[in-house]
Amino acid sequence: MHTVRIAAVQMVSVTRPEENLQTMRRLVSEAAARGAAWVLLPEYWPLMGIKDTDKIAFAEPLGNGVFQTALSEAARQNGIVLFGGTIPLQIPDKSKVFNTMQVYDRNGECIGAYNKMHLFGYSGLGESYAEADTIAAGSNAPELSADGIRLAAGICYDIRFPEFFRAQLPFDVLLLPAAFTYTTGQAHWELLLRARAVENQCYVIAAAQGGLHESGRRTFGHSMIIDPWGEVLDVLPEGEGMVMAELEAARLQSVRNRLPALKHRCM
């Protein structure tokens, strides 16, 4: 791994995709102007609907649509590698969507994609979520890299499944777009992210939704970048903006050389 500067964008997405598109373009351009070579967007950045079914109407066929075009253009125009948060993609019968993260290179070409596998379900404290009602689960773990750096990726709820990331080893950087609820985020968000960083001795980059949405849903925010020792390098508690940090090859190797836990694995 070599050193790379990365930004994780935090949004408070609204119900109108055209506004979210403008916000995405503006924040990606700002990140690039501040020296980011890679930019990660949050889950559901194009739309946080009033109802969970709203995203089905905006789902795009793979390779075509305003969200994918905007991501490609943002990567190309800013000369960055863009990890596209998630967008809704059509499944064959159009009854549900794939919740998909795509990766675009500096030429605006899509170089990888991942359909979220673990689908969130929760009920309590007046909240209820069942992603499986509107999202079709992906069937394959990510196989991603950028600039010769080995990557792992997950989306939001995936972070609760450590074996999912262990199956992606070896990697140096773990990417996680998310829209954690305030309730679960307050309890577990930082704990889970730091645990994944420590156990895999990797950088963790998490881009979140962070605020009160028009549907009344409140997301936890706290987009953050964590180093391989579990130290939080930057965090944005709430609201629109970004976190940034240098991912340093020397820091990664220092942690792995001093405590070679990955080499000591028995299973």
Whether residue 96 lies in the annotated active site: no
Both structure tokens of 76: 């190309």
- Is the backbone peptide bond immediately before 170 cis, with ω within 30 degrees of 0? yes
Check 55, 60, 96, 156 and give the catalytic one: 156
CA distances for 82 relative to 77, 85, 223, angstroms: 11, 9, 16
Tell me, yes or no, if 202 is annotated catalytic: no
Question: DSSP letters along 27-43, please?
Answer: HHHHHHHTT-SEEEPPT
- Catalytic residue, candidates 116, 131, 202, 238: 116
- Quote the CA–CA distance of 14 and 75 in Å, as a whole number: 23
Q: Let me know if 43 is a catalytic residue.
A: yes
DSSP code of 240? S
- Dmax over Cα atoms in the chain, in whole Å? 52
Contact 15, 214 (CB under 8 A): yes
**Coil, strand or helix at 63:** coil
Cβ distance 75 to 108 under 8 Å?
Answer: yes
d(CA 148, CA 142): 16
Q: Which of 43, 60, 131, 238 is catalytic?
A: 43
Sort strands 87-90 and 97-104 into parallel, antiparallel or unpaired.
Answer: antiparallel
SS3 129: strand
User: Where in the sequence numbering do the catalytic residues fall?
Assistant: 43, 116, 156
